[in-house]
């Protein structure tokens, strides 16, 4: 049954997401193929020392998520951090941030769908990859066309499956490392130092691995965007931001510790980009439990589908906000009677269409190529979030009900980490080309902005007053 809640003045979007749904939507994007499939590339670069890379990455991610959360609690506006960048850094910054995030989530949707297809070939190796990509794409379009309340419920269910799977993986993995199981003796931690030591490729490898590691944390900023559809943004964003920070740090660091302890690091990275390298499938296969690899493959398939679902949601909401503020054709601001930006949804499927075309054409390593394209755009997005936060603190002070420890100083530390990751992109061969494509993309949208968008863009300042009134209503 369709939701009967009237659309709010906030551009036709409904405020109906609970804090649990918001957390799971963000986790749906942040706990996805970056952990389940893409971590093999980071292991190849840093070896067992990838654990440190993930520690550093989780710290940077926590800072970004917390800063976005503090601003979103104060101003839960349509467009999230992109709209806030326009307010606190200027119209061009807001425009660039929004398009950067849209350019992040569109290919990310495609990358996650390619992962779904690769997981399906585990059972059906003769079925062409593009068929699975197309079918899974149709599924997520259907999910995103439901009311946001129904979408939140479905995403909560999908994300819960993979969160439970990660917890089970960590528990059984730690038992397998330190205690042993009836079917397997304890493996110990010898694999952390057996092949070339803990840091086989040198100290710099920890830094270089960040270029891949940070891809895994894409999604932490989604709390800011979904805040515009939260019933109680103060409670929801605050609870979601805190939950995101400790869950991501725990999940990624412990999961990678288990992987490199049980699987020799060269083995875990040698087949990077193929389904067999999913660390979860490799580790669970060590348990000698019947059908465990197949069950694990199903779980990581759900994880990829959930990630694609959340990425499409994020892309759609960002394009909707761009249309509303005349930074994209105004037609994208239209919503259905259920508050769904259907036209923005259709265009945001572009990444999935590209993934299908690439799969049909037989291009190899599609997931790795699309992952590399995402990284530069998400780094630009994170840079803008942190710069916006520093300006926000200067203007608003401690006005938000949720505050980041250390304030601007902590945000500056996060900026250093993001900048270091950006530099690492140009030292990894298969990412250099993608980074240059990203640079060209930003040059193009800059030309478009100054040629036509700047003169007709519309920023609705009343949205900030409405959002602040909504927050004050729940505070009181």
The mean pLDDT of 257-266, rounded to a whole number, is 87
CB 22 within 8 A of CB 156: no
Nearest-5° angle of CA 128, CA 130, CA 132? 85
Q: Tell me the Cα Rg of the chain.
A: 21
With b for 16 or more beta-carbon neighbours within 10 A and e for fewer, the 161-198 pattern comes to: ebbebbeebbebbeebbeeeeeeeeebebebbeeeeeb
At 125 the three-state DSSP class reads: coil
Residue 39 lies in a domain: yes
Q: Mean pLDDT across the stretch 196-212?
A: 90
In a domain, 415, yes or no: yes
Split into its structural domains, the chain has a count of 1
pLDDT at 339 over 90: no
The answer to the question of residue 387 being in a domain is yes
Residue 280 lies in a domain: yes
Rounded Cα distance between 82 and 354, Å, is: 25
Q: Is residue 346 part of a domain?
A: no
- Among 25-34, 258-267, 284-293, which stretch is predicted with the lowest mean pLDDT? 25-34
What proportion of the chain, given as a percentage, has pLDDT over 90?
12
Q: Which of 16-20, 103-107, 453-457 has the lowest mean pLDDT?
A: 16-20
Per-residue pLDDT tens digits for 29-53: 666 666 666 677 788 889 999 999 9
**CATH (domain of 88):** 1.20.1740.10
Task: Report the distance separating Cα 184 and Cα 287, nearest Å.
Answer: 6
Q: What are phi and psi of 201, to 5 degrees?
A: -110, 20
Q: Supply the pLDDT for residue 409.
A: 94
Q: At what angle do helices 129-144 and 91-120 cross, to 10 degrees?
A: 130
* Torsion on CA atoms 464, 468, 469, 474, rounded to nearest 10: 150
Average pLDDT over residues 9-20: 56
Domain that holds residue 138: 20-311+352-463
Counts of helices then strands in the chain (DSSP H, E)? 21, 0
Confidence of residue 475 (pLDDT cuts 50, 70, 90): low
Contact 430, 272 (CB under 8 A): no
Would you say the pTM of this structure is higher than 0.75? Answer: yes
With respect to residue 25, please indicate whether it lies within any of the assigned structural domains: yes
pLDDT tops 50 at residue 11: no
Tokens of 417: 């980490």
pLDDT class of 19 with cuts at 50, 70, 90: low
d(CA 142, CA 269): 35
Quickly state the pLDDT bin for 306 (edges 50, 70, 90): confident
Question: What is the DSSP secondary-structure string of 39-100?
Answer: HHHHHHHHGGGHHHHHHHHHHHHHHHHHHHHHHHHH---TTTHHHHHHHHH-HHHHHHHHHH
Residue 338 in domain = no
Is 59 inside a domain boundary? Answer: yes
Residue 106 has pLDDT above 80, yes or no: yes
Q: Report yes or no: 414 and 52 within 8 Å, Cβ to Cβ.
A: no
């Amino acid at each position: 049954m369709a939701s009967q809640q009237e659309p709010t003045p906030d551009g036709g979007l409904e405020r109906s997401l609970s804090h649990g749904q918001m957390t799971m939507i963000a986790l749906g994007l942040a706990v996805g193929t970056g952990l389940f499939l893409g971590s093999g590339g980071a292991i190849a670069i840093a070896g067992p020392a990838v654990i440190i890379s993930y520690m550093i990455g989780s710290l940077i991610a926590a800072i970004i998520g917390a800063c976005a959360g503090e601003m979103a609690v104060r101003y839960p506006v349509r467009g999230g951090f992109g709209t806030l960048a326009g307010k606190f850094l200027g119209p061009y910054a807001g425009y660039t941030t929004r398009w950067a995030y849209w350019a992040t989530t569109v290919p990310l949707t495609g990358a996650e769908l390619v992962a779904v297809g690769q997981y399906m070939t585990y059972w059906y190796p003769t079925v062409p990859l593009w068929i699975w990509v197309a079918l899974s794409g149709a599924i997520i379009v259907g999910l995103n066309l439901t009311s946001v309340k129904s979408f939140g419920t479905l995403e909560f269910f999908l994300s819960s499956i993979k969160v439970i799977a990660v917890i089970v993986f960590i528990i059984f993995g730690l038992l397998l490392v330190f205690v042993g199981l009836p079917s397997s003796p304890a493996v110990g931690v010898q694999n952390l130092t057996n092949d070339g030591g803990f840091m086989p490729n040198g100290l710099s490898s920890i830094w270089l691995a960040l270029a891949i590691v940070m891809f895994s944390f894409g999604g932490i900023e989604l709390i800011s965007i979904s805040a515009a559809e939260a019933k109680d943004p103060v409670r929801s964003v605050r609870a979601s931001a805190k939950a995101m920070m400790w869950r991501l740090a725990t999940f990624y660091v412990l999961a990678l510790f288990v992987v490199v302890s049980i699987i020799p690091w060269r083995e875990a990275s040698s087949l990077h980009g193929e389904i067999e390298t999913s660390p979860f499938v490799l580790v669970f296969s060590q348990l000698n439990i019947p059908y465990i690899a197949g069950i694990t493959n199903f779980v990581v398939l759900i994880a990829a589908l959930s990630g694609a679902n959340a990425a499409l949601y994020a892309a759609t909401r960002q394009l909707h906000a761009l249309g509303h503020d005349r930074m994209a054709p105004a037609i994208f601001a239209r919503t259905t009677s259920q508050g769904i930006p259907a036209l923005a949804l259709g265009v945001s499927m572009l990444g999935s269409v590209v993934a299908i075309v690439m799969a049909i054409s037989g291009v190899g390593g599609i997931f790795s190529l699309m992952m590399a394209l995402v990284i530069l755009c998400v780094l630009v997005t994170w840079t803008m979030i942190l710069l916006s936060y520093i300006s926000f603190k200067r203007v608003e002070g401690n006005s938000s009900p949720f505050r980041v420890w250390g304030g601007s100083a902590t945000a500056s530390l996060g900026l250093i980490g993001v900048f270091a990751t950006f530099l690492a992109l140009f030292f990894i061969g298969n990412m250099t080309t993608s980074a240059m494509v990203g640079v060209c993309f930003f040059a193009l949208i800059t030309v478009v902005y100054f040629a036509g968008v700047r003169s007709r863009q519309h920023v609705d300042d009343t949205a900030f007053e409405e959002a602040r009134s909504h927050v004050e209503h729940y505070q009181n």
